[in-house]
Structure 1
Amino acid sequence: MQVLKFGGTSVASAENIERVLAIVQQASTLGPVVLVVSALGGTTDALIGAGQAAAAGNESFRATLRQLEARHLTAAEALLPQAAQQADIQPWLTAQFTELALLADGIFALGELSPRTLDRLMSYGELLSSRLVAAAFAARGTAAAWADSRQLIRTNSRFGMAQVDEATTEALVTAFQLQTPASLWVAPGFIAADTEGHTTTLGRGGSDYTAAILAAALGAAKLEIWTDVSGMLTADPRLVRSARPIARISYEEAMELSHFGAKVLYAPTVQPVRQAGIPMWIKNTFAPHDYGTLVEVAPPPSPGAVRGLSSIGSLALLNLEGGGMVGVPGFAARLFAALARARINVVLITQSSSEHSICVGVSEGDVAAAQRVVDEEFAGEIATGRLDPLRPETGLAIVALVGENMRNHPGISGRLFGALGHNGVNIRAIAQGASERNISTVIRAADVRKAINVLHEEFFEATYKQVNLFVLGPGNVGGKLLGQLHQQQPYLRDKLGLDLRVVAIANSRHCLVSDEGGLDLASWPAELNEAPRLSLDEFTDLIISKNLRNSIFVDVTANPAAAGQYAPLLAKSVAVVACNKVAASSAYASYRHLKQLARDFNTKYLFETNVGAALPVIGTLGDLTRSGDVVRRMQAVLSGTLNFVFNNYDGSRPFAEVVAQAQAEGYTEPDPRLDLNGSDVARKILILAREAGQALEMSDVANESFLPASCLEGDVTAFYEQLAVHEPHFRALYDAAAGKGKRLKFVAQYADGKASVGLQQIAPGHDLYELRGKDNVVLFYTDRYPEQPLVVKGAGAGAEVTASGVFADIIRAARL
């Protein structure tokens, strides 16, 4: 004996029912079949809606019933094309809808829809579909006995979610089997009857349960649940695009996953076949040759410790707290008894070892009733202050890891908490049984998609880690960065397992956003010009609202307002990679605050390119201090612009012309005064001093400018005019150094807690003397390098080089 159940989508149309007939006929070659069917897809919801409309005095229920009748008659005509075949089923269908209309009229007249009446109303969906399918078999020459599940399954009178009397049901099924020797039964799912003969239902999804009850009572060789997906998946495919099928799973694991929101299987279904040891297949009606999922007693171990992930939304936590609970027996029993009296199902339980609080999870729809009954139960303790009034917290969800093999793998919980923590998902409650088969965490409902994807990536996707980038400032450096990302995406996937996706690109005018899969980095410039406008605050809100896992904000601007966005992003565990020097060189309290936020929210704030473009200056300094070395002194040339200018100025051509060349070759800011006035270098040495442990402000950095004051007035055009006017001044600076055999270098220095920048004459033999082109160099004098400094040297300017430094920081943040 085999039991096959087909869900609503499998019988949603005549075309789909034809698929069901073919599958059942193939199965019948292996032995007798009991076929359980749901209502035609959407019918049960339509019947509920009609009943509610009727109870509310809304006559729209009549149109709904007419539409349902037309749909079923149309299906009958398609399945039974000959008039003789329709002779029996069409009058029967019409009679059923006449009964339905009378029932709905009664609801309309009374203005009331009781649970008992609703069960009767809903039962018509399965009655109609099962008779229709039985008639379709008969029309094809296959004898099919129609079995009324209300005569086979006996329940109590809890309408809407009736409990099955297993012993009586088994006796009724056995008797029917003896009286009906047909090799094919067709039975309606979902419905049953109480001892008074009143129609009951087994809960939404109860057709699965009907099939499992019949399979257990008949001692079936197997149960097949046919649906619209190829078995159970490692996660909800609506949330996780890379969810994969689970080939084999234990009853216990299937029960856990189905309880925690795996919609492919109704949770109570597992228990009857588990007790009887009947294997259960979950198959796809629309891809019948797919393997599906086999639920069995002892499946092979899963490749990893976790078999699947699932979630429950619309959850509330109820917190009962108070010093009066400590050491007093019975509080938990009274709490659960009060909830049970109100027929409130408890989804999750956790209690602190101090016994000061008990926390339970319930459906959000039960919060008001729960608060009322619990506050009534503990009214005396609340009045005397021994307990606090019940405190509900809504807007939550449960995310669960399920796997029989988790008990044999230490560290699963650590990986769970670490992965969620790195992505800013706060855990409000935790529950884990001694079997270690399920680890449940309560989180914000808004974080479910992110959390499920993070955990799926952690436990099932060893190949790639998806990283989502939000890039601000696709100008000279930013454009080079996006080009490098585009070029390296395949390499990063293959060699580092990183799937870097640029989700958004924004400039001062437009913001281009990807819906799925990341932006096309080959075509973004044209698309950006057509994208809508977005302010900086709105861009930050976009990043936060998308709530994507492994998010990184990449600031490739010099905009002070952009730096103001770092704090709210870090506080949401969004990593920040900053080419922008404003934040790290702002007020020391602000700098420390950003660093502390990164620590507090377990994310990264990286700004290597603030000093020396792609040179590992800040990284090297961090390595020194973290390993216990103490930086006593630093001497550096930190401006590629100024080094280029003074390496190329020898008095043979005007100073202004050399500066113009530097600007033309992309070594300066759009306003060259930002480079030549020394403020940029001052910021850099300030950042290095802070990274070395000094609490310095910008005002503490002495800046000995070599520019005449008039060069800093007016606009850029006036700046170049004043450079020409003061050519004798620049020639004198050069001649003074050259006359001594020295070279001019704009040097940043830090020693004894003090920092300064200014033009210096460097003698031959010094480490700075031979510095060529646009190179930067930093000399670290430390306790370990007291005489011969640790030297970091290389190109310190240029869009390609700077972009590569930002890229390197992105990789560091991504590999957190």
Structure 2
Amino acid sequence: MLVLKFGGSSVAHESAIRQVAQIIQSYAQKERVTVVVSAMGGITDLLVNALNSASNREATYQTLINEIEKTHLDAVKSLIPVSIQSGVISRMKQSVNQLDALLEGAYLIGETTPRLSDQVLAYGELLSSEIMAAYLQSLGIDLTYWDARLLIRTNSQHGKAQVDTATTYSALQQAAASGHQVQIMGGFIGSDASGHTTTLGRGGSDYSASLAAAGLSARELLIYTDVSGMFTAHPQWVKSAKPIEEISYEEAMELSHFGAKVLYPPTIQPAMADGIPLRIKNTFAPEDPGTLISATGGKKQKTVRGISHIPNMALVSLEGPGMVGIPGISQKFFSVLSQAQINVVLITQASSEHSITIAIASVDAQKAVDVVNEAFSYERKQGMINKLIPEMDMAILALVGDQMRSHQGLSGKMFQTLGRNNVNIRVIAQGSSERNISAVIAEKDVPKAINALHETFFEAQTKQINLFIMGVGTVGSQLLAQLESQSDYLQNHLQLQVRVVGMANSKTMCFDESGIELSQWANLLAGGTVSSLDGFAQEVKRLNLRNSIFVDNTANAEVANSYPTYLSNSISVVTCNKIACSASFDYYLQLQELCGKYQASFLYETNV
């Protein structure tokens, strides 16, 4: 038995569904298959918006229902032969009518409830799984359709229900006894003991598939998405990120918790409990091997397996002289947060007991501040506890790897890399398992930090240098010509990938974050924006790239006076402009001091 799960992007439209059917057929020819599908891409968001509109008494919810109906009916008409379309269309319209009735109820009373929300959101998976089942049956596949609400039994915690695994596994085994070659059901949904529809939380279709795999003792669970496995870093942030061939259950859980969106964090637990391997595959590149997740995955692979992050975080610190040596402060702090249903993602405490710092979702920050300030109002009046003030726009960055515990110096290497690139670390945490090292940094620094760490831990053979060139006259144009002609040599012999990201003359300036095409630099610069020293510096800082160097090819005093702006942002300066070093000795000392403080270099031409 295999369990295959297909995400929303895999069933988003008619051509994707055809591709999914081919994959299912290829496996079903060899062994029995259970298929779990998500809602069609974008449908869950439409359902959420429709429910919000209806509960706010906005008649626009009808437009959204019409869009949902059209999307599914278009898929049916494209996929199902005309001779058997009528029955499928009739079932689709019946489901849409039921959905309409639920939303009309929310519109009439002007509110919604968690139970009603689950009923509404369930239609995404119900509709997509029915279409997939009808299409596979039209292809002659021996198939049965399972209503997940009759199999996945949960408690009544609507929105994020907890699964009764014993009852669920028994129901799955009884359903599978029918002996069909293919079973198909929607993910994400279940029901409580009273038969009321429940949901497992956003991303819960992965979890449904893992439950099916464990309940049916599957040989393997294959999760199909739109990327070829888990990567060493998010490909959107790091262009050189590589797929991870093998990884352990524990490493995969760490990476999925820290923002690797390929996998829903709880998914791994049921499969891991039964030792069932998981494989992340690409629906649109099925020949790619993907990532295998197992108990022994990748034991001989790299020490650091991946870099991930959680965005939109806030730091909240409870501190004050009255905390030292006083028992119960931590218990009260976390109890207040728990009662307010605020999830704490990261905790660190100073050994002096003077402060406790937590990282929470930004959306919860103000609520956390309000409830904690109220709970400690007496202590604040007595001067024992300071008033809480959240730090917003933060992110948690994490290095993950099972083998990190047996290697010394990884933390130092991580922090040195971040420091060299002017990334300030606000909080550090490491679990006792030593499977991850986490640091809280400013969200604006995330792209630079991830790229710098990826270069350090995964691209040791090649270092990327990002140049920002001021002045393209005789000296500057010759420099650009040399960089163009020697790029292969620098890459192959010195392991340096040198990119010119920005350039300017006295009239115009241009930037390209992926690197300016040096054979076209003159035309690109001529078509650039109006040049200014401040505007150039601001764009260099905004891009916030690792290993950045400002190159001054001018003889301009104003340019020479701008060096502190770059050095104080850990951007090295290379110059043939003699003005800075022939100015006052105090200015020279200032530049050298900035180099030491911000770990930047100041390299200059001199003469006697």
Same fold judged by TM-score > 0.5? yes
**What residue is the counterpart of 1:310 in the other structure?**
308
Question: What CA deviation, in whole Å up to 9, does each residue of 1:83-124 have, x standing for no partner?
Answer: 2x1132110100111111111112222221322222211110
**What residue is the counterpart of 1:451 in the other structure?**
449
- Matched residue SS, 1:100: helix
**What residue is the counterpart of 2:183 in the other structure?**
185
Q: Which runs of 5+ in 1 are unaligned?
A: 613-637, 639-816
**Whole-angstrom distance in 2 between the partners of 1:31 and 1:357:** 58
Q: 1:185: Cα distance to partner?
A: 1.1
Contact 2:513-2:543 within 8 A present in 1 as well = no
Q: 1:177: Cα distance to partner?
A: 3.1
AA matched with 2:60: S
AA matched with 1:283: K
Bigger shift: 502-511 or 573-582? 573-582
- How many percent of aligned residue pairs carry the same amino acid? 48
Q: 1:535: Cα distance to partner?
A: 0.8
**Whole-angstrom distance in 2 between the partners of 1:542 and 1:49:** 37
AA matched with 2:595: A
CA RMSD of aligned residues (A): 1.4
**Whole-angstrom distance in 1 between the partners of 2:153 and 2:324:** 45
**Whole-angstrom distance in 2 between the partners of 1:529 and 1:605:** 29
**What residue is the counterpart of 1:45 in the other structure?**
45
Question: What CA deviation, in whole Å up to 9, does each residue of 1:661-700 have, x standing for no partner?
Answer: xxxxxxxxxxxxxxxxxxxxxxxxxxxxxxxxxxxxxxxx
**What residue is the counterpart of 1:70 in the other structure?**
70
Q: 1:326: Cα distance to partner?
A: 1.4
Contact 1:320-1:391 within 8 A present in 2 as well = no
AA matched with 1:18: R
Contact 2:4-2:36 within 8 A present in 1 as well = yes
Q: 1:292: Cα distance to partner?
A: 0.5
AA matched with 1:352: A
AA matched with 1:36: V
The 5 A counterparts of 1:681-692 are: none
- Matched residue SS, 1:387: coil
- Matched residue SS, 1:584: helix
AA matched with 1:458: T
TM-score, normalised on structure 1?
A: 0.73
The 5 A counterparts of 1:245-324 are: 245-324=243-322
Contact 2:248-2:298 within 8 A present in 1 as well = no
Match of 1:591 among 588, 592, 597: 588
**What residue is the counterpart of 2:437 in the other structure?**
439
Report how many aligned residue pairs link the two structures: 608
**Whole-angstrom distance in 2 between the partners of 1:565 and 1:160:** 55
**What residue is the counterpart of 1:496 in the other structure?**
494
**Whole-angstrom distance in 1 between the partners of 2:194 and 2:338:** 25
Contact 2:31-2:181 within 8 A present in 1 as well = yes
**What residue is the counterpart of 1:107 in the other structure?**
106
Query: Is 1:561 the counterpart of 2:555 in the alignment?
Result: no
**Whole-angstrom distance in 2 between the partners of 1:383 and 1:176:** 63
**Whole-angstrom distance in 1 between the partners of 2:195 and 2:339:** 26
- Matched residue SS, 1:155: coil
Runs of 4+ in 1 over 4 A off after TM superposition: none
**What residue is the counterpart of 1:606 in the other structure?**
603
Q: 1:272: Cα distance to partner?
A: 0.9
**What residue is the counterpart of 2:32 in the other structure?**
32
Question: What CA deviation, in whole Å up to 9, does each residue of 1:406-425 have, x standing for no partner?
Answer: 11221111111111111111
**What residue is the counterpart of 1:349 in the other structure?**
347
**What residue is the counterpart of 1:396 in the other structure?**
394
Q: 1:302: Cα distance to partner?
A: 4.7
The 5 A counterparts of 1:495-644 are: 495-516=493-514, 518-607=515-604, 609=605, 611-612=606-607, 638=608
**Whole-angstrom distance in 1 between the partners of 2:103 and 2:233:** 40
Q: 1:526: Cα distance to partner?
A: 3.1
- Matched residue SS, 1:502: strand
Q: 1:211: Cα distance to partner?
A: 0.4
**Whole-angstrom distance in 2 between the partners of 1:341 and 1:176:** 40
**Whole-angstrom distance in 2 between the partners of 1:349 and 1:167:** 34
**Whole-angstrom distance in 2 between the partners of 1:167 and 1:345:** 28
Question: What CA deviation, in whole Å up to 9, does each residue of 1:213-245 have, x standing for no partner?
Answer: 111122211111011111111110111111111
Contact 1:162-1:201 within 8 A present in 2 as well = yes
AA matched with 1:606: L
Bigger shift: 390-399 or 155-164? 155-164
Report which of the two structures shows the higher radius of gyration computed on alpha carbons. Answer: 1
**Whole-angstrom distance in 1 between the partners of 2:71 and 2:126:** 15
Contact 1:260-1:310 within 8 A present in 2 as well = yes
Q: 1:168: Cα distance to partner?
A: 2.5
Match of 1:476 among 450, 454, 474: 474
The 5 A counterparts of 1:11-26 are: 11-26=11-26
Q: 1:578: Cα distance to partner?
A: 2.0
AA matched with 2:184: V
**What residue is the counterpart of 2:128 in the other structure?**
129
AA matched with 2:253: M
Contact 1:466-1:550 within 8 A present in 2 as well = yes
Question: What CA deviation, in whole Å up to 9, does each residue of 1:447-494 have, x standing for no partner?
Answer: 111111111111111231111000001112112211222222111111
